[in-house]
Amino acid sequence: MVTVNEAKQRIYSETVLNATETRPTTSAAGFVLAADIAAPLSMPSFRQSSMDGYAILHSDIIQKDVFLKITGESRAGQSELQPLISGNAIRIFTGAPVPDGATAVIMQEHTSVQSGQVIIHEFPVPPGKNVREVGKQIRQGAIALKKGTYLTPGSIGFLLGMNVQVVEVYSKPKVGLLVTGDELLKPGEPLVHGKVYESNSAMLIAALQQEGISDIEIKYAKDDFQSTVDALEELSQINDLVLATGGVSVGDYDFVEKALQEISAETIFYKVRQKPGKPLLFAKRQEKLFFALPGNPASSLVCYYEYVLPAIRKITGRTDMFLRKLKMPVKHAYSFDGERDEFLKAFVEEDYVVPLDGQESFALRSFAIANAIIYLPVTQNVISEGDLVEVHLLPF
């Protein structure tokens, strides 16, 4: 049995980056750049007005209420403009090109118009006022985004604004999912005494999709050894990562551990000193990763967030592998006995974190409203209201 930190370290050590692929920038959100991107052009590529108003020569404004003749207009998208000469002004709009000769833009709120002339009520006017110079955001040839950048919607907009139409990114893994248990019914089937509806697969698929993984294969295995071996072998052939839920404890019908040995997967660790989720198994065969998760739903989801998600994030190039951590005061006192660290389903409010009712490993109702997990090491097994605890924020 390993500690929580030992388990995470071993997963980190055994996980390597996935292959790279070229994707259209429009479909690259949620991926991580596998190479630097140099700016193919300056942004902006022309002098641009940041306000609606009037383009002027700042040197013409020698006092308040100077009159200038309005000689033209510059709209967004306009490509041909006459140069501005002293004594004149050009009506201009936000995002429009600043004409040659103009050195500033006066907001229309600081002007008035009379008989074809604009009166400038502002003084003094520094050069460059309300003008976005060429390359103010980025210069052509400079590194726009570095390798390892996680692409957000803002990243996509930034890249397409420079006409970067394709990017090289780390591929998302293909994931195989094995569900075991003769007691399981599929949703929609008639309820039979002694059986339960299977929800772990949909729960884990939803969590994987939240991480941008859509290539997911699912298989079901009966509670017998050969069925489990065959399913694991088939899933491992075409998938980078295989998750099994159930069949990993020490019962007479738990075959996943032995089945992984049968297909020559090396066990990196089995069992973690934690509650819930003790019977977690992590194995590897060449570059293929295997996680055997407990069958109890809350245990399975805790193990996904704390161990599987970090592995997926490292595979896909993310540097923020683990859930975001905070130290927050706890709303209610809590204590536990035993020699295992505990993970508590919790809800973060503005200034504190609330441990939720229903912490049992089978209980998903509390997970349905949780937005965080509290991590309590055995050295912090008694907490009082207001004590600081380590909080792991769930991804949304």
3-state secondary structure the chain: CECHHHHHHHHHHHCCCCCEEEEEHHHCCCCEECCCEECCCCECCCCEECCCEEEECHHHCCCCCEEEEEEEEECCCCCCCCCCCCCEEEEECCCCECCCCCCEEEEHHHEEEECCEEEECCCCCCCCCCEECCCCCECCCCEEECCCCECCHHHHHHHHCCCCCEEEEECCCCEEEEEECCCEECCCCCCCCCCEECCHHHHHHHHHHHCCCCCEEEEEECCCHHHHHHHHHHHHHHCCEEEEECCCCCCCCCCHHHHHHHCCCEEEEECECEECCCCCEEEEECCEEEEEECCCHHHHHHHHHHHHHHHHHHHCCCCCCCCEEEEEEECCCEECCCCCEEEEEEEECCCCEEECCCCCCCCCCCCCCCCEEEEECHHHCEECCCCEEEEEECCC
- Is a pLDDT exceeding 80 seen at residue 277? yes
What is the rounded CA–CA span in Å between residue 186 and residue 54? 68
* Of the candidate ranges 170-179, 253-262, 290-299, the one whose mean pLDDT is the lowest: 253-262
Q: What is the pLDDT of residue 224?
A: 86
Say if residues 162 and 41 touch (Cβ distance below 8 Å). Answer: yes
Q: What is the pLDDT of residue 255?
A: 87
- Is a pLDDT exceeding 60 seen at residue 253? no
What is the rounded CA–CA span in Å between residue 115 and residue 106? 19
C-alpha torsion 353→275→300→344, nearest 10: -10
Q: What pLDDT, in 10s, does the model give residues 214-238?
A: 999 999 988 889 999 999 999 999 9
**Mean pLDDT, residues 194-199 taken together:** 84
Superfamily holding 324-393: MoeA, C-terminal, domain IV (2.40.340.10)
Band (pLDDT 50/70/90 cuts) for residue 251 is low
Which amino acid is it at 98? V
Band (pLDDT 50/70/90 cuts) for residue 180 is confident
Band (pLDDT 50/70/90 cuts) for residue 373 is very high
The pTM of this model reads 0.89
- Name the residue ranges covered by the structural domains of the chain: 4-18+172-315, 20-43+138-170, 48-132, 324-393
CATH topology of domain 48-132: Molybdopterin biosynthesis moeA protein; domain 3 (2.170.190)
Domain 20-43+138-170, CATH number (from 3.20.20.80, 3.90.105.10, 3.30.70.20, 1.10.3720.10): 3.90.105.10
**Mean pLDDT, residues 202-218 taken together:** 96
Closest of 382, 339, 373 to residue 355, by C-alpha: 373
Burial class (CB in 10 A: 0-12, 13-18, 19+), 115: exposed
Burial class (CB in 10 A: 0-12, 13-18, 19+), 39: buried
Say if residues 69 and 87 touch (Cβ distance below 8 Å). Answer: yes
β-pairing, 111-114 vs 117-120, is: antiparallel
Residue 152 is encoded by which pair of tokens? Answer: 């957000």
Residue 396 is encoded by which pair of tokens? Answer: 């949304």
Q: What CATH architecture is 4-18+172-315?
A: 3-Layer(aba) Sandwich (3.40)
Q: What pLDDT, in 10s, does the model give residues 120-133?
A: 999 999 999 999 99
Q: What is the pLDDT of residue 183?
A: 76
Residue 134 is encoded by which pair of tokens? Answer: 């060429």
